[in-house]
Amino acid sequence: MRILRRIAEVRAAVSEARGEGRSIGLVPTMGALHEGHLSLIRRARADTGFVVVSLFVNPTQFAANEDLGAYPRTEERDAALAADAGADVLFAPPVEEVYPDGFATTIHVSGVTEVLDGKHRGAGHFDGVATVVAKLFQIVAPDDAYFGQKDAQQVLVIRRLARDLDIPVRIVACPTVRESDGLAMSSRNIYLDPASRERATALNRALAAAQAAVTGPETSAVTVLTAAHRVLAQAGIEPEYLELRSPHDLAELDRIGDGALLAVAARVGAARLIDNRILEAH
C-alpha cells in the first residue's frame, strides 16, 4: 500500500489502475480506524480492483464548539490497519492540499440536511461533508464509494449529492458494526470512561426496545419513542434527539408504515454518540 499526500499523485495512481482495467473503490474516513471502517475497506476490496482509503480530518464539518482539535489522529496505526484490510492507496493529504489558499466553494444539499444532525450540529456540518466528499469524488473518480449505515443521514446526503450533480458513482451503505455489547463502533468511543462506556450501551438497547414495541404498520411513533425513551432514562441519558423519520427522505413519521428510521444522538460522558435502526412492522 502506498501513502500519498498530493491530489496529482492519487490521480496518477488511479489512472494507472484504470489503464490496467481495474475498477476503483473509495472509502472516505477521518482516521482513527476501527472495525467499522475496516469492514468497508474489505467490502471495497471484494467489490473492486483498486481501493483508495482517504484519511482526512475535515475541518469544515466541525463547528467552533466541537472536537476538531481533540479528534484522534493515529495515522501510523491507521495505515497498518488499512493495508491489512486491503487498501492499495491511503490518501492522507494536509489541509492545504484539500483547501488551498483562496478556497471559496461550498456545496449545500437541501432537503435532508435540516433535521437531526443538521439541526443540532448546525447547517455547516453537512455543507462540510458534502464539499469534501464531492472533492474526493472528483479526485478519485471511484466506481463505488463505501459508507457506514451508522451515519444514516450522511448516507442520504451523499446519495442526493451524487444524484443531483450527476456524479457516476455507486454509493454503497454497509451495515453498522457493533461491539459485543451492542455499542455502535465509533472513533469517538475512545472518549468514554468505563462508567460512560457502560451507559452508552443504552442507545442500542433503546433502539431494540423500540423495535420490540412495534406490533404492526399502524404502530404509532409515540409508542416506539416512549419505549426507547424509557431505556435511555434508566441509564440517565437525555437524548439530543430521538426521532422517527422516513429512511428515504427523513420526513417525520407518525407511524411505522412500511419501515421507519429511528435515529438517536446523545452526549454520554465526554462523547457525542449517534445510532439508528430501521424499524420493521411484524
Q: Is 37 a catalytic residue?
A: yes
Chain-centroid distance of CA 250 in Å reads 16
Instruction: Locate 40 and state its grid cell.
Output: 468497508
Residue 100 identity: P
What one-letter code names the amino acid at 113? T
The residue type found at 274 is I
CA 24 vs CA 36, 87, 157, 187, 188: distances in Å: 20, 11, 22, 26, 29
48 secondary structure, DSSP code: -
Return the axis-axis angle of helices 7-19 and 123-140, rounded to nearest 10°. 50
Beta bridge partners of 41: none
Give residue 7's identity as a one-letter amino acid code. Answer: I
**Is 182 a known ligand-binding residue?**
no
Residue 30 marked ligand-binding: yes
Q: Which amino acid is at 147?
A: F
Selected catalytic residue, list 37, 120, 125, 229: 37
Would the annotation count 234 as a binding residue? no
116 with 50: CB under 8 angstroms? no
37 assigned binding-site residue: yes
Angstrom CA distances, 9 to 12, 41, 71, 87, 278, stand at 5, 20, 27, 16, 40
46 marked among binding-site residues: no
- Residue 33 labeled ligand binder: yes
- Is 188 annotated to bind ligand? yes
The reply, when asked if residue 20 is annotated as ligand binding, is no
Q: Is 150 annotated as a binding residue?
A: yes
Is 34 known to sit in a ligand binding site?
Answer: yes
Annotated ligand binding at 78? The verdict is no
On whether 39 is known to bind a ligand per the annotation, the reply is no
Q: Which residues are annotated as a binding site for (R)-pantoate?
A: 61, 154
Active-site amino acid positions: 37
Residue stretches of the annotated binding site for beta-alanine: 61
Binding-site residues = 30-37, 61, 148-151, 154, 177, 185-188
Binding-site residue set for ATP: 30-37, 148-151, 177, 185-188
